[in-house]
Structure 1
Amino acid sequence: MVTLSAGIADEHSLQLTFVLFLSVVVITLFTALLTAPQRDEISEFYLGNRAMSPLRNGLAMCGDYVSAATLLGSTGLVALTGYDGLMYLGGTTVAWMMVLLLIAEPLHRTGRFTLGDTVALRLPRRQRSVRLALAVCTLAVATLYLVAQLVGSVALLTQFTGEPSAATRTLCVVVIGTVVIMYASLGGMPGATVIQIIKAVMLVAGVTVTAGWVLHRFDWNPDALLAAAADGSGLGAGFLEPGLRYGGSTVSKLDFFSLELAIVLGLAALPHVLMRLLAPRRTDVLRSSVVWALGLVGVICLAAGVLGLGATALVGRDAIETTDHKGDAAVLLLAHALGGGILTALLTCLAFVTLLAVAAGLTLAAASSLAHDLYGEVIRKGRASETEELTVARLSGAVIGVLGMLLALVAWGTNTATLAFLAFAIAASSILPTIVYTLFWRRFTALGALLSLYGGLACSVLLVLFSPVVSGTPVSFYPDTDVAWFPLQNPGIVSIPAGFLLGWLGTVLSRRQDRDAQEEFEVRALVGARE
């Protein structure tokens, strides 16, 4: 990858970024340790302070969801592809409507600590086998998304130093991964919430101010910004029309639809988002929290669109693509054009903090599922003490963090956004069908849950292995090999319907069971009474 220009990669910017990042890490880590659970109670470790206001809960949800792929990847996509990039940002906002209207309230009423508790209430006879399947899928999704964040830290470092040495990559991943483990394993949900709120406030403020700065350069005239972006793209009016990335062929159109389907449906099945939905004590607080999260994510996506257009207008599409063909450098190039080394350092620090926050939430969600569902309910069959389960949760956080570091070092050259969206597709293909059927289909059985979980996971992973993501193109993981018989980069358009179909098939092939449990579950879903 080509490095940024000498003005951006100067020693002053790098030093200032390091000082700012270190300061934020020290402050947030100290605050997370202060707010960490003081008692050996799993409810406090898993759910944290359940008396938070809707605004603080909404900030935490926003912080859990918005990753560096939004700040860097989405901005770069807009800068390079114009209209197609803006359409992609729209799907990110719509995804929260899916959560608000379909999943949030019934899941909150029937859940306890994890999604496994909801399924166990609905399918008590075979709950252990279903909990095991949920733990496997949760671990797969969370680990893949965690690897995307750690790979993103190396990609971000690359923007300053060029392609780093093996020692530099290892040091970057280990430092970021260790901090993530400390947030998740020591701070639990209270500690993770602290960094999510701080990150969300910094992110909303940072992108809003920078987007305002861009608009100010064009006298607050959006038409002038669009015209300048079209000129800077070198493509004229075609930059503001569909087709630059996803409209050139039928395959690219299907790929775009598959990606949007995975984003819109996958959010409702991401483990760290589901865990956050269980945190508020009251349903009305949850509803307001999701509305706040929807609004905050919408503001960030709108600002990302302005930043992408501003980067094309002020820096030029050719300069962005020459620096980084994926466009991840667009926001940093824009920051340098607007505010020099200081603004570049501020946005780089913000990107690193964004990586930390999302990674901490993912690690905590995976550790909670392993400790509560796998260890507490499957291995110990509900007989584990709270102290024992809490110890396993902390150890699980460390194990998952180390696993993520190792995989990130192997996959460090992979596109960050691609890894993140594959995690969305896997979640939507395996976990989402189980959620929807559990909440809304009275006939649903344990066999249907197992087939949708394992089958959706296997289908999505298999399609990815034989897709251009792994082989067949210059930017594939194995560019010299070509076994890509599946033409799309995102498997969602096939694997998501397959997950739902397998859940239906498993149900109709098995005998209906647990009628009393179903009636109790329906009452719980309507009126709540979780505790």
Structure 2
Amino acid sequence: MVTTGAAVVDRFSLQLTLVLFLSVVVVTLFTALLTAPQRDEISEFYLGNRTMSPLRNGLAMCGDYLSAATLLGSTGLVALTGYDGLLYLCGTAVAWMMVLLLIAEPLRNAGRFTLGDTLTLRLTRMRRPVRLALALCTLVITTLYLVAQLVGSVALLTQFTGEPSAATRTLCVVVIGTIVIVYAAIGGMPGATFIQIVKAVMLIAGVTVTAVMVLHRFDWNVDDLLAAAAGNSGSGTRFLEPGLRYGASVTSKLDFLSLQLAIVLGLAALPHVMMRLLAPKSGSVLRSSVVWAMGLVSLVCLAAGVLGLGATAIVGRDTIAQTDRKGDAAVLLLAHDLGGGVLTALLSCLAFVTLLAVAAGLTLAAASSLAHDLYGEVIRKGRAKETEELAVARLAAAVIGVLGILLALVSWGTNTATLAFLAFAIAASAILPTLVYTLFWRRFTAQGALLSLCGGLLCSVLLVVFSPVVSSTPASFYPSADFAWFPLQNPGLVSIPAGFFLGWLGSVLSRPEAPENYDDFEVRTLVGVD
């Protein structure tokens, strides 16, 4: 999501965006301090106030999941590729059905603070190595996704200033990263929840109002909108047919399937989403919360599709592509045409707040895993006091934030979508098989968990290293080199089955767990302990 063109919007929009963003930051930081855990209890820091209504929980889940890529990247993808972009948005919406039907309630019933608690409740042997492997996977996933958000803030700033200087890039990343650290380290789950709700309400309202303006421009006639989009796409009716981006070859079709698998299956295993699933007080609240989240995410995806088509119909595909070859400027160009500098500033502020909120959730998830799984259970062997673990969690949030800032500064030219999709692929390849086997397979063992976690992580990373993402194409990290023997840009099609296979293989080759242990665990997943 990195642009190389000149500024998209004027100085007025930049100034108004800055004022709006600072206003939101000041209000949310103040509220985060007020709602921060008042007692030295890790349950309050990790899970927050468990008395929230299903709607507020659903808004928080929606806020945790929807990133700036949905507002900018997905809209741009629709604007440039038409039908194929809309098909991509469908995967984003469908992913929540996987969470609702398979993962949400059993995980909430069996869990405590982190996924590591669920695994060690189910597995009786090698608990510390399993927690260590899980903490490693969590750290890799959250760091990749966090760096994507911080690099995205520079890409968004580029829409205003053109190619930013090194000092401007550094200032942008450091400011955003520092605010994220404060949210996560001081506010904990209550503070992160508040910013997620604010962000979700702003995002839903912003994209819905803008989509309504687009439909009003075409007198609420969808056929006219589609016809205008096809006419200004430069591709004619092919714009409304499959194949403009993903159907050119068998490889591109497989790549799209791999990407959709990673999105649909990876959502259920993203660490910050799983933390949110553990927060509701009861199973009924959780079910209603996920239904709300699924509906709200679908609404945003529908609106993003309308915005993408509207951008092509009103602005024109050539203008969008000339301004930003990846299409991230589409929604800002559309906003400037519909509502001038004010609407542009509102949507730009919304994108910055979205980056901030997602980054805060990721930092909190990583800090919780490091403090609880790694320090509390592996290093201190469960003997750490709550005040001690809480201090480590706050320190870990600061360390993760600083690490994300440094990596973002080093890799600022990286495609943020690639980093985000790699995080999804690792989650689907390493954590999801372990989670599914833990919840539903009686024969699953600790050796299977270790092999699934480490093997899924290693397989995903290696396939990406030897893919066109790193070498052999003009858009690669190293375009002049060529060692890409794996043809797909997303490894999910291979790494996800590999993760499940390795979990099965490790389990069948090792001694079974005690059968009564799974029986007790199964009762807990069905009934829960409120």
Q: TM-score, normalised by structure 1?
A: 0.99
Which residue number in structure 1 is paired with residue 177 of structure 2? 177
Which of 2, 5, 11 aligns to 1:3? It is 5
Letter in 2 for 1:173: V
Asked if structure 2 preserves the Cα contact closer than 8 Å seen for 1:105 and 1:283, the reply is yes
Which residue number in structure 1 is paired with residue 359 of structure 2? 359
| Separation in 1, partners of 2:315, 2:4 | 16
The residue correspondences of 1:81-480 to structure 2 (distance < 5 A) are 81-480=81-480
Point out the more displaced range, 461-470 or 513-522: 513-522
| Separation in 1, partners of 2:473, 2:417 | 17
Post-superposition shift, 1:514?
A: 2.8
| Separation in 2, partners of 1:454, 1:160 | 42
The residue correspondences of 1:17-32 to structure 2 (distance < 5 A) are 17-32=17-32
Post-superposition shift, 1:476?
A: 1.2
Letter in 2 for 1:265: L
Asked if structure 1 preserves the Cα contact closer than 8 Å seen for 2:445 and 2:506, the reply is yes
Unaligned runs of 5+ in 2: none
- CA offsets 1:51-80 (integer angstroms, 9 cap, x no match): 000000000000000000100000000000
Asked if structure 1 preserves the Cα contact closer than 8 Å seen for 2:266 and 2:428, the reply is yes
RMSD: 0.8
Post-superposition shift, 1:125?
A: 2.4
| Separation in 1, partners of 2:201, 2:5 | 30
| Separation in 1, partners of 2:395, 2:286 | 30
Letter in 2 for 1:87: L
- CA offsets 1:412-458 (integer angstroms, 9 cap, x no match): 11111121111100100000000000000000000000000000000
| Separation in 2, partners of 1:483, 1:224 | 47
| Separation in 2, partners of 1:198, 1:397 | 21
Letter in 1 for 2:326: K
| Separation in 1, partners of 2:4, 2:419 | 22
Letter in 2 for 1:496: I
Number of residue pairs the alignment of both structures matches: 528
Post-superposition shift, 1:127?
A: 1.2
| Separation in 2, partners of 1:41, 1:80 | 49
Asked if structure 1 preserves the Cα contact closer than 8 Å seen for 2:54 and 2:286, the reply is yes
Point out the more displaced range, 477-486 or 455-464: 477-486
| Separation in 2, partners of 1:124, 1:17 | 53
Post-superposition shift, 1:118?
A: 0.4
| Separation in 1, partners of 2:459, 2:164 | 35
Post-superposition shift, 1:10?
A: 1.9
- CA offsets 1:258-296 (integer angstroms, 9 cap, x no match): 000000000000000000000001000000000000000
Secondary structure of 1:233 counterpart = coil
Asked if structure 2 preserves the Cα contact closer than 8 Å seen for 1:2 and 1:322, the reply is no
Secondary structure of 1:156 counterpart = helix
| Separation in 1, partners of 2:88, 2:298 | 13
Secondary structure of 1:478 counterpart = coil
| Separation in 2, partners of 1:471, 1:164 | 26
Point out the more displaced range, 470-479 or 302-311: 470-479
Post-superposition shift, 1:9?
A: 2.9
Secondary structure of 2:232 counterpart = helix
Letter in 1 for 2:522: E
Post-superposition shift, 1:4?
A: 4.8
Post-superposition shift, 1:376?
A: 0.2
Which residue number in structure 2 is paired with residue 60 of structure 1? 60
Which residue number in structure 1 is paired with residue 525 of structure 2? 525
| Separation in 1, partners of 2:474, 2:338 | 33
Letter in 1 for 2:467: S
Q: TM-score, normalised by structure 2?
A: 0.99
Letter in 2 for 1:84: D
Post-superposition shift, 1:511?
A: 1.1
Post-superposition shift, 1:3?
A: 3.3
Letter in 2 for 1:76: G
Letter in 1 for 2:5: T
Secondary structure of 1:326 counterpart = coil
Secondary structure of 1:467 counterpart = coil
| Separation in 1, partners of 2:224, 2:9 | 30
Identity of aligned residues (%): 81
Letter in 1 for 2:205: A
Which residue number in structure 1 is paired with residue 13 of structure 2? 13
Post-superposition shift, 1:254?
A: 0.2
Which residue number in structure 2 is paired with residue 50 of structure 1? 50
Point out the more displaced range, 110-119 or 505-514: 505-514
Unaligned runs of 5+ in 1: none
